[in-house]
Amino acid sequence: MKRKIYYDLINWKNEGMKKPLMIIGARQVGKTYIIEEFCKNEFKNYISINLLHHPEIKELYSQSISANEKFIRMCAILDINPNLENTIIFFDEIQESEELISALKWYCEVDIPFKIICAGSLLGVKLKRFHSSFPVGKVEMIHMYPMDFEEFLYAHNTGEYMVNYIQECFENNKPMDNIIHEKLNNLYRKYLCIGGMPEIVKNFIDKGSNILNIDRKPINNIIDSYLNDMNRYVKNKNEATKNESIYKSIPVQIGNKSNKFQYSKIDKNARKRDYESSIDWLLSSNLIFKCCKLDAIKIPPEAYKNNDYFKLYMGDVGILNTMLKINENEIYLDKPFIYKGEIAENYVSNQLIYNNVSVYYWTTSSNSEIDFIIYNEDGIIPIEVKASNNTQSKSLKSYMNRFKPKYAIRISTKNFGFENGVKSVPLYAAFLIK
């Protein structure tokens, strides 16, 4: 399946691959698949070394010998010609060896024909809790996420045509043909049901994209693997338990009327200091995303975010709906139900964050709230999310009167358009917001 990160890998190659490349992302988002595709397609010689399958390489890099000696011995162990041109080595599950991660500095600085790319499960957590000397400035990093809605469309036969049409309407604020608009709204609701995990998307496409044929078992298996991972790279068993407690609470937390994460939803006696480490673990694993409140609408917004007042979103909307145990028909048939708006909000947060957009939100004591605030070349832009075509909003009108942004964005099931300073964007086109 087509993944947009492939273009980032090509850019790395075209820029000379001076630094080893590290791909960071949650388990099952497709890191190994896309790296293998890239290595096979773009290099004459491709060597894959999974440290879980090669404990002898992990043991080698733990020895107190020079990085050059480790490289020579590794080539001998694996029967690799160290002078082979047009060769790339893929170190998978590299988090298993801090010493190998530290050795990436040597791979960056020496003149050998090999190029290095690496990835691993919970690599973000491992790097956050690194004990060795991390090669700062010697490694290029790219974050990888589940498939966004654009990639979901590419998985269908008419994907590229649809994406081009959506982009044209988005850029020109031109209403889309109503029949196609409704077709895309239906596809959006299917995406809500299954999410963007590649294995799940492929299974769905292979079964004819029939919503009645959704197999929840693979999604539940992924959730189970995430829960099992929460015992790794932790300070103690207590932290692992807290990791799981927070993760399981998020589907309920997104419905908080207080517009913020509440520790009391985990335990009535819970305190911030008791759970900070676990929230940091989950954020580093890319299983969840954080959106902080802004204390002021000023540039740069990053300087005015309130780290104590925040929301947490699930990293994949399909996993969210599976954990909420919502029947697919409720979503696909667009029925009214509790959490409908919150699910749409989580979906939009995913599409923005997959685009590497920094997201914030804004609220007042009078319960006026803007779902997302972004900062781009047009300044600070408010984004409101609606799960349906009911787009009335006192909060957005109040915000615009007070702060007078260049324009606002309203994301809903309505067609494209621009009226009274508000850019209307269908939910299926959220992936185009940069």
* pLDDT per residue as tens, the chain (434 positions): 899 999 999 999 999 999 999 999 999 999 999 999 999 999 999 999 999 999 999 999 999 999 999 999 999 999 999 888 899 999 999 999 999 999 999 999 998 889 999 999 899 998 988 887 788 899 999 999 999 999 999 998 777 889 999 999 999 999 999 999 999 999 999 999 999 999 999 999 998 888 888 888 899 999 999 999 998 888 888 999 999 999 999 988 887 776 788 888 888 787 888 899 999 999 999 999 999 999 999 999 999 999 999 999 999 999 999 999 988 888 888 888 888 999 999 999 999 999 999 999 999 876 789 999 999 999 999 999 999 888 777 899 999 999 999 999 999 999 999 999 999 999 999 999 99
The whole-number pLDDT of residue 214 equals: 81
Rounded CA-CA distance 307/287 in Å is 19
CA torsion sign, 156 to 161 to 163 to 165? Answer: negative
The whole-number pLDDT of residue 334 equals: 86
Half-sphere exposure of 50 (CA within 13 A, CB side): 7
Is the link from the previous residue into 251 a cis peptide, with omega within 30 of 0?
no
Place of tokens 């999410």: 195
Rounded CA-CA distance 276/262 in Å is 12
CB-based contact 361:293 (threshold 8 Å) = yes
Q: What is the pTM of this model?
A: 0.93
From residue 171, how far is each of 132, 149, 278, 347, 424 by CA, in Å? 47, 17, 41, 21, 11
The whole-number pLDDT of residue 301 equals: 97
Please state, as a whole number, how many other Cβ atoms lie within 10 Å of the Cβ of residue 369. Answer: 16
Place of tokens 């998985």: 155
The whole-number pLDDT of residue 271 equals: 83
Place of tokens 């209403």: 175
Bridge partners (DSSP) listed for residue 370: 362
Look at strands 360-363 and 87-92 and give their pairing: unpaired
User: Which of 137, 56, 142 is closest to 100 using CA atoms?
Assistant: 56
Rounded CA-CA distance 125/141 in Å is 14
Q: What is the CA radius of gyration of the chain?
A: 23
The whole-number pLDDT of residue 136 equals: 87
Kindly report the backbone phi and psi dihedral angles of residue 246, in degrees, each rounded to the nearest multiple of 5, phi listed first. Answer: -65, -45
User: Which of 139, 67, 55 is closest to 97 using CA atoms?
Assistant: 55
Rounded CA-CA distance 431/434 in Å is 8
Which of left, alpha, beta for 234 (phi over 0: left; psi -120 to 50: alpha)?
beta
Look at strands 369-376 and 379-385 and give their pairing: antiparallel
Question: E-assigned strands of 41-113?
Answer: 45-50, 87-92
Q: Per the structure block, which two tokens stand in for 313?
A: 């979103």
The whole-number pLDDT of residue 38 equals: 97
10 Å CB burial of residue 325 (0-12, 13-18, 19+) is: exposed
Strand ranges across the sheet with 45-50: 45-50, 87-92, 114-119, 21-24, 140-143
Q: Which amino acid, one-letter code, is at 381?
A: I
The whole-number pLDDT of residue 234 equals: 87
CB-based contact 133:104 (threshold 8 Å) = no
Rounded CA-CA distance 200/206 in Å is 10
From residue 170, how far is each of 165, 173, 389, 427, 434 by CA, in Å? 9, 5, 17, 12, 12
